């Protein structure tokens, strides 16, 4: 006889709940620390249940990273209307918020992607592309940026720069030696893009 | 009886020659492709000789990467005198030259470092720090950049951006779909730094 189920959720809802738990646990630990033991402890999830929904721990990990990536893209969407620079500011600050709130998980995605895990790399590249492409897609009239090959390359470089600045600032901040305030960091990352575009040929 | 040695080199010279061979082979292949078989084929080097000088294949790999990193830092030194922007241009273009000439080896360093190899990571961080610090060290009078926490962070972000731009351009160029010329790429990476600094508070 099986024990009573913890709650009467439809399978899709249950799967969803497992993913949400994974995403929230991933925020402050690397992917490899998302063990079955931890999931059991935090959510009363058994290996059997996890395998039932995802097939393997690795597949669960990938599904969690994909969900986190989708969250990141959704949460950093700029407002639909308004001043182009204001919209860039809002979307970029939301990105900084997200990375700071999910620092350990984000770092583990970056490392996993760069370190040769092809599936993590694909998700990471998708996020990077989504964040870069959005700058152009959201600005069809070219108010902030016109769509040229040089600008495409610069925006890609800018996203790499923003990531480096945020991760460097966060590492310093965690070590108690950040020399810029969060507002100053936001000012740097947001101000960088118009400056780069203005200097491009 | 042992076979006659290939050449009468002092041990230091022989070790040096092995490292130089490693660096040249690393330019167009990833680190893991630097096998004993390849070294034997290209330089008549036996496993015994390699182990004699380096102790293990892994130690040899690290020594090769360190030598390549030292080469990179030396070759990208800006001229000692001259106009600050000219000096930045010369040093940065030398960096782009180096990465393009050693694309596969450079990518394998970036991936190995990001992927959690602590020793590769240390060498990579040293290179990054050397390239960033040089911008300040070479400019004690603050002609191009004054030494503030915001500028330190921006220069670090700029080095990440330059790396991303060069690797992205190189990947496109190798696939026959680069839409910028090499000169345009150089213009973008060099012009980005003064633009970023001018926009910083």
pLDDT of residue B44: 84
A180/B150 Cβ within 8 A: yes
Q: What is the mean pLDDT of residues A66-87?
A: 90
> Among the residues of chain A, which ranges form H helices?
11-26, 36-43, 47-54, 57-75, 84-101, 103-114, 118-137, 149-174, 182-199
3 state SS of B64: helix
pLDDT of residue B114: 74
pLDDT of residue B196: 95
pLDDT at A166 over 90: yes
B180/A200 Cβ within 8 A: no
pLDDT under 50: residue ranges of chain B: 1-4
pLDDT of residue B1: 42
pLDDT at A63 over 70: yes
**Placement of tokens 């002092």 in the chain:** B10
Q: What is the mean pLDDT of residues A110-126?
A: 83
pLDDT band at A113 (very low <50, low <70, confident <90, very high): confident
A169/B187 Cβ within 8 A: no
Tens digits of residue pLDDT in B78-110: 888 888 889 999 999 999 999 999 998 888 888
Q: What are phi and psi of A6, to 5 degrees?
A: -65, -35
Residues of B in contact with A120 (CB under 8 A): none
pLDDT of residue A8: 67
Q: B154 — contact with chain A (CB < 8 Å)?
A: yes
Q: What is the mean pLDDT of residues A49-63?
A: 92
Q: Which chain B residue shows the shortest CA-CA distance from A107?
A: B114
Question: Residue B23: which of B57, B54, B69 has the closest Cα?
Answer: B69
In Å, how far is B13's CA from the nearest CA of chain A?
34
**Class of the CATH-defined domain B11-61:** mainly alpha
- What are the distances in angstroms from CA A155 to CA A40, A125, B167? 42, 14, 14
Q: What are the extents of the domains in chain B? A: 11-61, 76-199
Q: Is the dihedral of CA B73, B75, B77, B80 positive or negative?
A: positive
pLDDT of residue B2: 47
**Placement of tokens 């190899």 in the chain:** B117
């Amino acid at each position: 006889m099986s024990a009573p189920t913890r709650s009467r959720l439809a399978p899709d809802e249950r799967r969803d709940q497992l993913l949400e738990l994974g995403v929230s646990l991933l925020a402050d630990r690397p992917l490899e620390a998302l063990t079955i033991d931890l999931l059991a402890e935090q959510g009363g999830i058994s290996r059997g249940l996890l395998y039932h929904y995802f097939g393997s721990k690795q597949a669960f990990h990938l599904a969690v990273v994909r969900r986190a990536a989708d969250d990141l893209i959704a949460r950093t969407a700029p407002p639909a209307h308004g001043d182009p620079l204001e919209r860039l500011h809002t979307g970029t600050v939301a990105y900084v918020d997200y990375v700071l709130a999910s620092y350990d998980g984000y770092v583990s995605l970056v490392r996993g992607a760069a370190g040769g895990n092809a599936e993590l790399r694909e998700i990471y590249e998708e996020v990077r592309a989504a964040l870069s492409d959005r700058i152009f897609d959201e600005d069809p009239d070219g108010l902030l940026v016109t769509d040229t090959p040089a600008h495409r390359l610069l925006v890609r470089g800018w996203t790499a720069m923003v990531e480096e600045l945020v991760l460097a600032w966060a590492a310093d901040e965690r070590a108690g030696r950040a020399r810029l305030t969060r507002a100053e960091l936001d000012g740097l990352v947001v101000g960088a893009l118009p400056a780069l575009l203005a200097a491009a040929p």
